[in-house]
């Protein structure tokens, strides 16, 4: 199978790591469909994709809804005959202490980060097993391996991806379907920029000062870039990664967070 006839779905594909992965897969000739809630605004989606808008197709997708997920996958299959690659990059993040932890924060992060990934995998698995080839990549986090105060919901949702991935790996193994996860530390995405902006407002520090503080969280003293995650994802989605399944690949720059 050559990259030119592969079809990929990337959730959360209009920002951050999801967008970088979508662009990287498209560079290899893969036909990419990105799905996010914001993709319902066609003009906005095309503006984000820029020159890639002609070969990366954005469609509205809410991973919290089984009906929406199943319809999205069915549309891709109708257009392309199947799904070869699934990258689950859609995710949300919010903080709360355990004491008086709001139910909504817990439910949102479990529903999007973990259950949304499950819904996408459930929808594509029949098509991949029928074809005898598939690559499933879940965006986890170093938070899947390490706790952090005020992050119970996020850490639990990301740790759950590791258990989910092991089961998918076993069920897909005999059918040429692999399932792996990538667990980055801080990556310089729009989400991180929101944290940086909040810290600037709270501390009065400059952008450069706050950014440097985040960079110091790892021994390399550099923030991981979305394109670095995308390069790893592209390899894990390739024919060369046939034997790589059930693994979780930490991109941590030497840091545990």
Tens of pLDDT, residues 143-183: 999 999 999 999 999 999 999 999 999 999 999 999 999 99
pLDDT of residue 1 exceeding 60, the answer is no
- Spatial contact of 82 and 132, defined as CB atoms under 8 Å apart: no
Q: Which of 173, 212, 178, 220 is nearest to 196 (CA)?
A: 212
Q: Where are the domains of the chain?
A: 3-186+225-251, 188-223
Residue 163, C-beta contacts closer than 8 angstroms, at least 6 positions apart = none
Residues with catalytic roles: 154
pLDDT at 42: 87
Q: What is the pLDDT of residues 206-247, one digit of tens each?
A: 999 999 999 998 999 999 999 999 999 999 999 999 999 999
- Spatial contact of 233 and 87, defined as CB atoms under 8 Å apart: yes
For all residues of the chain together, what is the average pLDDT? 95
Q: Which of 4, 1, 9, 12 is nearest to 189 (CA)?
A: 12
Domain 3-186+225-251: assigned CATH number: 3.40.50.720
* Greatest C-alpha distance within the chain: 56
pLDDT of residue 256 exceeding 80, the answer is no
Angle, CA of 54, 56 and 61, to the nearest 5°: 130
């Amino acid at each position: 199978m050559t990259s030119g006839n592969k079809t990929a779905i990337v959730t959360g594909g209009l920002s951050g790591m999801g967008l970088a992965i979508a662009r990287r897969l498209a560079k290899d000739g893969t036909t990419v469909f990105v799905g996010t809630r914001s993709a319902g605004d066609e003009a906005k989606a095309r503006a984000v994709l820029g020159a890639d808008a002609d070969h990366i197709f954005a469609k509205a997708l809410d991973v919290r809804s089984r009906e929406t997920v199943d319809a999205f996958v069915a549309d891709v299959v109708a257009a392309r005959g199947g799904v070869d690659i699934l990258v689950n990059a859609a995710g949300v993040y919010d903080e709360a202490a355990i004491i008086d932890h709001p139910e909504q924060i817990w439910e949102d992060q479990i529903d999007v980060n973990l259950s949304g990934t499950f819904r996408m995998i459930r929808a594509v698995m029949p098509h991949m097993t029928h074809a005898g080839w598939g690559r499933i990549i879940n965006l986890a986090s170093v938070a899947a391996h390490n706790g952090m105060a005020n992050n119970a919901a996020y850490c639990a949702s990301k740790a759950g991806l590791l258990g989910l991935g092991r089961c998918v790996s076993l069920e897909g193994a005999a059918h040429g379907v692999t399932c792996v996860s990538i667990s980055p530390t801080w990556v310089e995405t729009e989400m991180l920029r929101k944290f940086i902006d909040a810290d600037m407002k709270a501390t009065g520090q400059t952008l450069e000062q706050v950014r440097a503080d985040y960079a110091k969280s790892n021994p390399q003293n550099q923030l991981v870039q979305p394109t670095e995650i995308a390069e790893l994802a592209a390899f894990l989605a390739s024919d060369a990664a046939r034997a790589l399944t059930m693994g979780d690949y930490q991109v941590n720059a030497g840091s545990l967070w």
